[in-house]
Amino acid sequence: METKKAKRIGVLTSGGDAPGMNAAIRAVVRSALHGGMQVMGVHHGYNGLINGDIVEMNVRSVSEILHRGGTILYTARCKEFRTHEGVLKAKENCEKFGIDGLVVIGGDGSFRGARDLSIEGIPCVGIPGTIDNDISCSDYCIGFDTALNTAVEAVDRLRDTSQSHDRCNVVEIMGHGAGHLALEVGIACGASAIWVNEIEFSPDKDIVDRIMTTGKTGKHHFIVIVGEGITDVHALAKYIEEKTGVESRATVLGHIQRGGTPTAKDRVMATQLGNYAVGLLEKGIGNRVVVIKEDHVEDFDILEALKMKKSINQKLYEVAKTINI
């Protein structure tokens, strides 16, 4: 959608934070300034747009943040923005602060907000930033690689103690119903079982039987990865212990996965996506999501993006089943 070229853009982060969001903010601010635009930083996601918590940013506002986790703009999940009144208040503030284009860094909930604001006439460009990696139109979301490495490091530590005690360790991995992070953690950690929402799974067949079978080949410790929200991992550990006789423990990794220094991959991805997003607004193009497709940066219709569903890499799951024995 072609609109008039933006002169002053806003940038906000919304939803769950993800490592690399700061690198994206930095790229947006500096690319916009380079293109002769002004940049306004909106605090606390859409809340800041509704309440007018908006500050002008300059080249030094984003110094020393490239390597920092979290988001210097703060983030939130904003209930009021889900109402039409909330969207109209945000639109009024965009007009008041002279914001004629907005970059939204976040997940699909954040893009829904960007779509609603776009419909009201403020061109928005979304950048996928979520450790869940569940934005359907993009192969990659900022934060995924860092979260993956953080979780893998944590599970490696659990493996040490699991091995020492001949135990089974059940680990819950974040994902908000999506199994992309859990699956890759399971692959990278050689988990005996990976339970994700998208793939049919039976705890008796895929965990208990597997432990009994591989136990006969001399395996004495087991890692079981479970996607967030599927089951109570503490109850599952108890069940596994009862059925197999293997002492079992459960760990919920939780928000540990969302913090920390972004990996080089996340910094590079965020920088490219941030720069591309500004390029669109600079040309007067809004209502797009900036995506990674086969290692290229492209843009995609925001309305179409929200209709799509990302499928899990079933092949990778089958490979894990073959190899992690």
Catalytic residue numbers, as ranges: 132
Distance CA 86, CA 79 (A): 9
State yes or no: residue 172 binds ligand F6P (CB under 6 A): no
| Torsion angles phi and psi, residue 251, rounded to 5 | -135, 135
* Residue 213: other Cβ atoms inside 10 A: 11
Residues 193-222 that bind ligand F6P (CB under 6 A): none
Residues 14-43 that bind ligand F6P (CB under 6 A): 16
Distance CA 206, CA 148 (A): 23
Minimum CB separation of residue 227 from ligand F6P in Å reads: 9
Instruction: Name which of 154, 231, 163, 221 is nearest 192 in CA terms.
Output: 221
Given the structure tokens 């939130």, which residue do they identify? 76
Stretch that binds ligand F6P, among 47-55, 97-105, 170-178, 218-226 (CB under 6 A): 170-178
Stretch that binds ligand F6P, among 66-74, 169-177, 184-192, 262-270 (CB under 6 A): 169-177
Q: Which is nearer to ligand F6P, 116 or 132 (CB)?
A: 132
Q: Which is nearer to ligand F6P, 74 or 120 (CB)?
A: 74
Strand partners, 228: none
Contact 35, 277 (CB under 8 A): no
Stretch that binds ligand F6P, among 5-13, 129-137, 232-240, 280-288 (CB under 6 A): 129-137
Output the CA torsion sign for 303, 42, 11, 110.
negative
Contact 28, 13 (CB under 8 A): no
Per-residue contact track with ligand F6P, 224 to 243, x per CB under 6 A?
----x---------------
Q: Which is nearer to ligand F6P, 197 or 214 (CB)?
A: 197
Residues of this chain that interact with ligand F6P (CB under 6 A) are 16, 107, 130-132, 174-176, 228, 258
